[in-house]
Structure 1
């Protein structure tokens, strides 16, 4: 893994939400690393040694089935931290953490973060609130996958990626979208073709560009707005 000169760790919104005193104590133990596309940070059963706070990288947590298929169960970008909750309990990854968009991240050893959370009540409470965010987001995603059509789920996913990347052009392929949405590639191709015809997105080889964010939001299911409200309510100190 390539280490980078320390950039602004507070590019990550969760680190931004820390009290200045807590961040000042945490900062000397943070290092900046570059995550490459397709890189597996942890696989199922691996011991988690570090927690990662993405800057512009995006990482998915996927469940690997017995037949080799994968289903996304979580996604992490600049709004949060990955590996933290597992690391504080059993120190074992319960899924595969794979980098979907290359970029930078701050990381810290789990031992040091555990020490700090035990010593700093505000940091511990922030971690607990983030845990509630993840639980609520998972609850919403399970409901979404069970009842909402592919088109609205696809719009939600594209918007969520766009928010985390903070850019309109995203490195998304039909194969990748199909894997994340747990549907056939043909279903994704049909949906994205419809969205492009409506002027909401522009497809290129290996990428999708958001052309009409407002239109995508109207087409997305209610879950997109609900998850955003969850973050705003439970992590009010983080920017949006």
Structure 2
């Protein structure tokens, strides 16, 4: 079990970037948990008790409107920690944190993480760098949703999901993409059909396989390259970022 835990922890790029002497202070408080698609970790206003470092899961932060519709405002995968920034301010969730892709994560009580962060300067610096990444990523995401066409945004979402999961076949449905992009399912179906006809993706029931990453990057907007640039500039210890051909 301990060996399995160690392997999973190395999947999260932030945990992998923690200095060994600092990780020794974190490890006793980390708990390996399984997250299932659709699981709600926090609703708006809930007190945040745990921060999550996803390994093989993707978590979205969505804003819940009065009519029940949701709009994605943040996404957390293997290069992220979820819940820490909210817990560091009001201790209340800004929105709904919902698991979009099933997988594992390490969770830690936010009180313990705060204690270790305050006591370990290198860890404090790493988490501060991630906070800048998250804010810049959110800024770019909001800009993208406001000004770029659906096809480019869809390509960006698929590329970013690959960044979070590190695999070519992605567990994506049209319904899920429509919810994340804030458009009708029929719009997503038309876009993915165009991408498949162009030989960029292959659609199967419940999944999309990318067959031409270079071609897909060429069809996305500048936001994908800018987001990668943000990660490289502000979070240099993070490994495994793909080569960026659209960097400004």
For normalisation by structure 2, the TM-score amounts to 0.93
3-state SS in 2 of match to 1:89: coil
Q: Deviations over 1:192-233 (max 9, x none)?
A: 000000010111111111111111001011100110111011
Contact 1:7-1:32 within 8 A present in 2 as well: no
Instruction: Tell me the equivalent position of 1:225.
Output: 225
For the residues of structure 1 that align with 2:208 and 2:65, how far apart are their CA atoms? 28
Query: Which residue of 2 is the match for residue 151 of structure 1?
Result: 151
Deviation at 1:28, TM superposition (A): 1.3
Q: Which residue of 2 aligns with 1:47?
A: 47
2:14 match: secondary structure: helix
Mapped to 1, the partners of 2:22 and 2:91 lie a distance apart of 23
Match of 1:103 in 2: 103
Measure, in 1, the Cα distance between the counterparts of 2:238 and 2:189.
35
Per-residue deviation, 1:7: 4.0
Flag structure 1 segments of 5+ consecutive residues without an equivalent: none
| Shift in CA distance, 191/155, structure 1 to aligned 2, threshold 3 Å | same
Give 3-state SS (helix, strand or coil) of 1:135's partner. Answer: helix
Superposition map of 1:39-118 within 5 A: 39-118=39-118
TM-superposed deviation, 1:238: 1.2
Q: In structure 2, how many angstroms separate the alpha carbons of the residues matched to 1:126 and 1:31?
A: 21
Q: Which residue of 2 aligns with 1:126?
A: 126
Distance 1:91 1:136 in 2: 21
4+ residue runs over 6 A deviation: none
The number of residues matched between the two structures is 237
Give the equivalent residue in structure 1 for 2:166.
166
* TM-score, with length taken from structure 1: 0.96
Q: Distance in 1 between matches of 2:163 and 2:118?
A: 32
Matches within 5 A, 1:194-205: 194-205=194-205
Instruction: Determine the C-alpha separation between the residues in 2 that align with 1:24 and 1:118.
Output: 15
Q: Aligned partners of 2:5, 2:195: CA distance in 1, in Å?
A: 40
The Cα of 1:5 is off from its aligned counterpart by 5.9
Say whether residues 1:216 and 2:220 are aligned partners. no
Q: Secondary structure of the residue that 1:6 maps to in structure 2?
A: helix
Q: What displacement does 1:40 show?
A: 0.6
SS at match of 1:22: helix
Tell me which residue corresponds to 1:31: 31
2:147 and 2:130 mapped to 1: Cα distance?
Answer: 26
Alpha-carbon distance in structure 1 between the residues aligned to 2:119 and 2:163: 33
Contact between 1:35 and 1:105, CA under 8 Å: does it hold in 2? Answer: yes
Who is 1:6 aligned against?
A: 5
Looking at structure 2, the residues matched to 51 and 97 of structure 1 have their Cα atoms a distance apart, in angstroms, of: 11
